[in-house]
Chain A
Amino acid sequence: MNVPTENHLTEEQLVLYYYSEASETAGVEEHLGACESCRKAYHSLQRVLNSVDSLPVPDLSADYETRLWSALDARLGRRKSFAARWLLWKPLVIAASMAVLIIAAFLTGRTLERPSNQQKSVADSGIRERVLLVAVGDHLERSQMVLVELANAGAPATGHLDISYEQRTAEDLLEANRLYRQTAASAGDFPTATLLEDLERVLLEIAHSPSTVSAKQLEDLRKQIEDKGILFKVKIFGSQVEQREAAPSKAGAASL
């Protein structure tokens, strides 16, 4: 049974019907029931679109989600729990507390330091260094994550890369970094103060970058990181700190 051509369903109507998006499904069905020509056209469309389904998608391994999460977790940083997040977003508070403790311990040590108390002074100095050691180690670890993230960011396919997260983190780290640098300098720990000074320049660069950077700007940032060798220095320093933390008895003998 054929209906006049001008009343046939259009290809667009058939496509919408196939995808259950037709506004008048009942009308289309009625027409298809009555019009052999449209029915043929629809079956032809069905064959084509059904054949598209033959396009295979590779099977992913059973542990795909686990592998993906490991990769993401490393890139996302340590935003794992409320406590970890708090530590990440409140480095200033931690840094300030540590700095106050260190300065207080330093001043107390100086006040109480007497020739007769030489042994006690050595012990106080060890405690001060250890407190700073732990705090700076933690700070360097957070800084390293930001630097690694930027150093490994792929070329922005859109032409621009959103670095607002790294930027905010760098801003927070910057405040903490200043406090640690000043504390290290006043404690006479110049190697640590110098490293923190270098780190501060790079963090400042990141914090002052636009939140969305072009490929060129990203390259410039990377160059800054590479030129100063800061990532390498931070990694080396971080591992030294870890070693000294593991061997507290030796920490007192070495400069921080």
Chain B
Amino acid sequence: MEDTDSVAVARVKAGDGDAYRVLVDRHSRSVFRLAYRMTGNQQDAEDVVQETFMRAYRQLHRWEARSSFSTWLYRIAANYSLDLVRARKRHAETAIDETSANQGAPDDAIHALPASSPGPDRLLFSDQVQKCVASTLEELSQQERTAFVLRHFEGQSIEEISAALGLSANAAKHSIFRAVQKLRRALEPMVSHAL
């Protein structure tokens, strides 16, 4: 796969702009999944995908064939997603009052779910878990969230994550540990009661 990515990149660099479509077709859905998990919003995720491919195209000369094209693409997408989330947060913080802004810490996220028990309804429970996962991911630091999403959902190795985020392997590892800890704290009471 990466060999063919290299071939496509070489064709684009040689002036065949249409060859870029091969890369777009091949990687856009996985970039979308990553972006959606990073931003939690479909429109934002689609914007991230478009911007990622625009930036990648313009910076194609910076990509080195010895590294994976998808990892490089993820790096661009993850960084742009982070910027977008950061910008959204800044905007939200100015738009809502301080009390609301302080809500939603991991523990609060659980309490923020409907107080009444949904009963044995599996679908409703699944919906609650999803909401809890989403709100906890939202409360992770940007570095924790990116590292975790890349590791958990995209199956990137710690080495690849550290390269993508410009961190040491140890820092990447600890970002993942902290993310897992926070998710455990938020989700364990729910999933252990369910079994």
Contacts and interface: CB of A to CB of B under 8 A. Distances in A.
Contacts of A21: 157-158
Given A76-B20, A157-B84, A47 B42 contact: no
Interface string B25-59: 10011001100110000100001011101110111
B49 A19 contact: no
A55 B134 contact: yes
Interface in A81-132: 81-82, 84-86
Grouping DSSP codes into helix (H, G, I), strand (E, B) and loop, the A interface class, with mixed when no group exceeds half, is helix
Query: Which of B14, B53, B55, B137 gathers the greatest number of chain A CB atoms within 10 Å?
Result: B53
Grouping DSSP codes into helix (H, G, I), strand (E, B) and loop, the B interface class, with mixed when no group exceeds half, is helix
Range for the number of chain A residues in contact with chain B = 35 or more
A82 B50 contact: no
A71 interface: yes
A11 interface: yes
B133 A165 contact: no
Contacts of A69: 21, 24-25
Interface stretch (A26-34, A56-64, A185-193, A241-249): A56-64
Interface in A1-37: 11-12, 15-16, 19, 21
Interface residues of B, number: 55
B111 interface: no
Nearest to B29: A60
A52 B187 contact: yes
A51 interface: yes
A65 interface: yes
A79 B18 CA distance: 8
Contacts of A16: 173
B130 A84 contact: no
B192 interface: yes
B108 interface: no
A75 interface: yes
Interface of B: 14-18, 20-21, 24-25, 28-29, 32-33, 36-37, 42, 47, 49-51, 53-55, 57-59, 79-80, 83-84, 86-87, 126, 129-130, 133-134, 137, 151-152, 157-158, 173, 176-177, 180-181, 183-184, 187-188, 190-192, 195
16 contacts: A16-B173, A19-B151, A44-B188, A45-B180, A51-B129, A54-B126, A57-B32, A65-B24, A65-B25, A68-B28, A72-B53, A75-B50, A76-B20, A154-B51, A157-B86, A158-B83
